[in-house]
């Protein structure tokens, strides 16, 4: 009898309206806080934000990030600090897109875009180097690699969730700008988060 019930469900579904999206010709909108492919950002003057502190590599639960810092050349510094990210690699065969690296970064150097559609034909392509991760020195836009399917808006609000409120979740910090500008984007707008109207004023949230 169970078999007939199962076939009954199948036949009923055959005459219902289809809800399938014809992917990839038509794609659903991506959430503002989607975790996708990483980018290494620059300040508005073009200098790199990464200081080679290796905090992102230390916090990564998948151990997919490899960073080595180096002292800045006195004549042509790469970053405003004493050091910069000399080597920066992310192994996307391991990455779980948890965004802990973004949260740990003290200079907002690494953020995640909305790009999640990329595939590789060999293992070497899956290990992104600094040259592939750092944004263009002129436009501030991410590098577009042959195996990536970038769509408009994929880099418009990278890691917007971290701009919602303070780390303690206090609603009174909602909307405050406490981050530096980025080349090609300027100072990004705050992501929509909780509001003071929803708060009881105690600060314990």
What is the per-residue pLDDT for 91?
96
What is the per-residue pLDDT for 49?
94
Chain segment 99-114, per-residue pLDDT in tens: 899 989 989 899 999 9
What is the per-residue pLDDT for 203?
40
Contact 53, 84 (CB under 8 A): no
> Sign of torsion, CA 140 145 148 149?
positive
Count of Cβ atoms closer than 10 Å to residue 5 Cβ? 8
What is the per-residue pLDDT for 177?
77
Global pTM value: 0.78
Low-confidence ranges of the chain (pLDDT < 70): 1, 160-171, 191-205
| Cis peptide upstream of residue 24 (ω within 30 degrees of 0) | yes
Pair of tokens at residue 205: 């949230």
Give the integer Cα–Cα distance in Å for 36 and 28: 15
Pair of tokens at residue 141: 């836009």
Q: Print burial letters for 108-131: b (CB count within 10 Å at least 16), e (below 16).
A: bbbbbbbbebbeeeeeeebbbebe
Query: Which of these, 35, 36, 88, 42, lies nearest to 64 by C-alpha position?
Result: 88
What is the per-residue pLDDT for 26?
80
What is the per-residue pLDDT for 16?
81
What is the per-residue pLDDT for 161?
64
Give the integer Cα–Cα distance in Å for 103 and 190: 16
Assign residue 104 a region (left: φ > 0; alpha: ψ between -120 and 50; beta: otherwise): alpha
Contact 27, 21 (CB under 8 A): yes
Pair of tokens at residue 174: 């909602």
What is the per-residue pLDDT for 130?
96
**Residue 146, CA distances (Å) to 1, 150, 156 in order:** 53, 10, 20
DSSP percent split of the chain into helix, strand, coil, nearest 5? 20, 15, 65
């Amino acid at each position: 009898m169970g078999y007939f019930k199962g076939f009954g469900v199948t036949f009923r579904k055959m005459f219902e309206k289809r809800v399938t999206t014809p992917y990839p010709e038509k794609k659903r909108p991506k959430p503002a806080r989607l975790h996708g492919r990483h980018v290494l950002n620059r300040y508005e003057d073009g200098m790199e934000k990464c200081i080679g502190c290796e905090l992102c590599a230390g916090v990564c639960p998948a151990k997919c990030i490899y960073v080595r810092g180096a002292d800045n050349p006195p004549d042509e510094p790469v970053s405003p600090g004493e050091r910069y990210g000399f080597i920066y690699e992310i192994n996307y065969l391991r990455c779980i897109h948890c965004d802990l690296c973004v949260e740990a970064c003290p200079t907002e150097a690494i953020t995640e875009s909305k790009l999640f559609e990329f595939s590789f034909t060999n293992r070497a392509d899956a290990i992104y180097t600094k040259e592939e991760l750092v944004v263009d020195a002129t436009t501030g836009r991410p590098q577009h690699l042959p195996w990536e399917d970038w769509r408009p808006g994929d880099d418009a609000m990278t890691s917007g969730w971290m701009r919602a409120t303070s780390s303690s979740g206090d609603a009174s910090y909602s909307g405050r700008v406490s981050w530096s500008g980025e080349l090609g984007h300027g100072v990004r707008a705050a992501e929509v988060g909780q509001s003071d109207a929803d708060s009881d004023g105690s600060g314990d949230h």
